[in-house]
Amino acid sequence: MSDLHTAPIAVVGGTGPQGRGLAYRLARAGHPVVLGSRDADRAAGAAAALRALPGVTAPVDGAANRDAVLRAAVVLLAVPYQGHAELVGSLADVLAGRLIVSCVNPLGFDKGGPYGLPVVAGSAAEEAAHLVPTATVVGAFHHLAAPLLLDPEADLSHEDVLVCGDDAQAKARVLALAAQVTEGRAVDAGRLRLAAQLEPLTAVLISVNKRYRTRSGVALTGLAPAVKEEVA
Amino acid sequence: MSDLHTAPIAVVGGTGPQGRGLAYRLARAGHPVVLGSRDADRAAGAAAALRALPGVTAPVDGAANRDAVLRAAVVLLAVPYQGHAELVGSLADVLAGRLIVSCVNPLGFDKGGPYGLPVVAGSAAEEAAHLVPTATVVGAFHHLAAPLLLDPEADLSHEDVLVCGDDAQAKARVLALAAQVTEGRAVDAGRLRLAAQLEPLTAVLISVNKRYRTRSGVALTGLAPAVKEEVA
């Protein structure tokens, strides 16, 4: 992964709100980004729209998912859980050996509102790890509201990004990226398996959003105000 | 439940750290409390210790679990998940018709640290609801660190208590209690089934505590500073 700092970060699902929002914040922090989509033209259109947003200094391109992954060392998965296994499986050969950042929230919705979907692997992050055993998987960015990510004026520095993973070096790298995305605090939440707790917590946030008409996020108490992480 | 304001609040598992801590804060807020334990003498001893803590103005008694429940309209379950079903089942006849506040965290621990245990019912709160169908079950108080609850000097007003339940009136009552426990914010997290997300989130907090040598808790972003709830 010697090209980690020059290669773009790929965002699979880069035309969805979460993917575009994370891509915007990463590009604003100076990281080249390539949006991936099933449809290369849609990805190119979304990339053009991001380039027009304030503060974007790094290149933002669009490509078909497979081509986006091939250009990157770090790949964000920002896709709906529905179809997740099929999509990751179809990209397994190009995801091999890469650092996967899973931002996937396995949620269901019915008349009672949002709820966490059962996942056989425990979590979407662990599912990706099973499907691409040579990749390193880290879970992060589950709780940042997409409309806030995409709002150039929104201050995210009070939001915690909880990061989980079993590879310390990869986790440190994602912690550093997360602190750049929010210009705030990134928290080492522990093992990858705790993605089973982080992912469906988003159901609670959506429920709170509806009740309080807000865009809620997570902050932990009991931590120092700024646990800044630097890229190793 | 006409005696809700004069009857004591029972804390089943009242001799454990979480139970004692919640009982202390409730008693400090002026609520009579009866600690329940399998062993009435242990409960009496724990009650005497709580009465000696600063700020306790309300009566604090100890009793066998069954007797504690019989004296109360509101019953906090603050017991380990191990043995939860058996305990709740054994008290089902006296819990019938009461307001149960489930504070139970189904957690496992192994060499990888804490993790959320699978619960067939979805959550401990829903398990209690199935075992005592005539009770009203609300989930709350999962994330407050017991040592902080028990520390007379600890300020909990920056901690959010996330409360879930399907009965609006019962939930409002628990939201009001929660705001008194922390002298802070209580948040309506939504349906009871979201206890499946709230309960095991404690595994993340314990993991963070170990990594950062702290007592972490949860606060949500995007909400007004004080969503104070009054007893209806």
| pLDDT exceeds 80 at position A199 | yes
N- to C-terminal Cα separation, chain A: 13
Query: pLDDT tens digits, residue range A29-44?
Result: 999 999 999 999 999 9
Residue A168 in any domain: the answer is yes
E-assigned strand segments in chain A: 9-12, 33-37, 60-64, 74-77, 99-102, 107-110, 113-116, 136-139, 160-165, 185-190, 217-221
Query: pLDDT tens digits, residue range A41-61?
Result: 999 999 999 999 999 999 999
Out of A194, A200, A216, whose CB is closest to B222?
A216
The whole-number pLDDT of residue A177 equals 98
| pLDDT exceeds 50 at position A2 | no
Nearest-neighbour CA in chain A from B224: distance (Å)? 9
Best of A197, A213, A228 to mutate (most B CBs within 10 Å, chain B): A197
Residue A220 in any domain: the answer is no
> Across the interface, do B201 and A197 touch by the CB < 8 Å criterion?
yes
Query: pLDDT tens digits, residue range A56-86?
Result: 999 999 999 999 999 999 999 999 999 999 9
- Specify the CATH number for the domain of residue A13: 3.40.50.720
Query: pLDDT tens digits, residue range B51-109?
Result: 999 999 999 999 999 999 999 999 999 999 999 999 999 999 999 999 999 999 999 99
Best of B194, B202, B223 to mutate (most A CBs within 10 Å, chain A): B194
Residue A225 in any domain: the answer is no
Q: How many whole angstroms separate alpha carbon A122 and alpha carbon A116?
A: 11
Residue A222 in any domain: the answer is no
> Across the interface, do B221 and A190 touch by the CB < 8 Å criterion?
no
| pLDDT exceeds 50 at position A27 | yes
For chain B, give the mean pLDDT.
Answer: 95
pLDDT category at A1 given cuts 50, 70, 90 is: very low
Q: How many CB pairs under 8 A join A and B?
A: 129
Q: How many whole angstroms separate alpha carbon A57 and alpha carbon A27?
A: 7
The whole-number pLDDT of residue A232 equals 40
More confident site: B2 or B186: B186
CB contact, 8 Å: B154 with chain A? no
> Across the interface, do A193 and B112 touch by the CB < 8 Å criterion?
yes
Q: How many whole angstroms separate alpha carbon A11 and alpha carbon A46?
A: 12
The distance between the two most distant Cα atoms of chain A, rounded to a whole number of Å, is: 49
Question: Over pLDDT 90: what percentage of chain B?
Answer: 94
More confident site: A2 or B210: B210
- Over range A103-107, report the average pLDDT: 98
Residue A229 in any domain: the answer is no
Query: How much is the pTM?
Result: 0.94
| pLDDT exceeds 60 at position B143 | yes
Q: What 3-state class would DSSP assign to A75?
A: strand
> Across the interface, do B217 and A219 touch by the CB < 8 Å criterion?
no
The whole-number pLDDT of residue B225 equals 78
Residue A221 in any domain: the answer is no
Interface ipTM > 0.85: yes
| pLDDT exceeds 60 at position B228 | no
Q: How many domains does chain B have?
A: 1
CB contact, 8 Å: B162 with chain A? yes
Contact B162, B143 (CB under 8 A): yes
> Across the interface, do B116 and A197 touch by the CB < 8 Å criterion?
yes
CB contact, 8 Å: B7 with chain A? no
The whole-number pLDDT of residue B4 equals 47
Q: How many whole angstroms separate alpha carbon B21 and alpha carbon B147?
A: 7
| pLDDT exceeds 60 at position A89 | yes
For chain A, give the mean pLDDT.
Answer: 95
Residue B2 in any domain: the answer is no
Residue B64 in any domain: the answer is yes
The tokens of A94 are what?
């190009």
Out of B189, B204, B218, whose CB is closest to A194?
B204
Q: Which residues touch A13 (CB under 8 Å, ≥6 apart)?
A: A19, A36, A37, A76, A77, A78, A79, A80
Containing structural domain, residue A71:
9-212
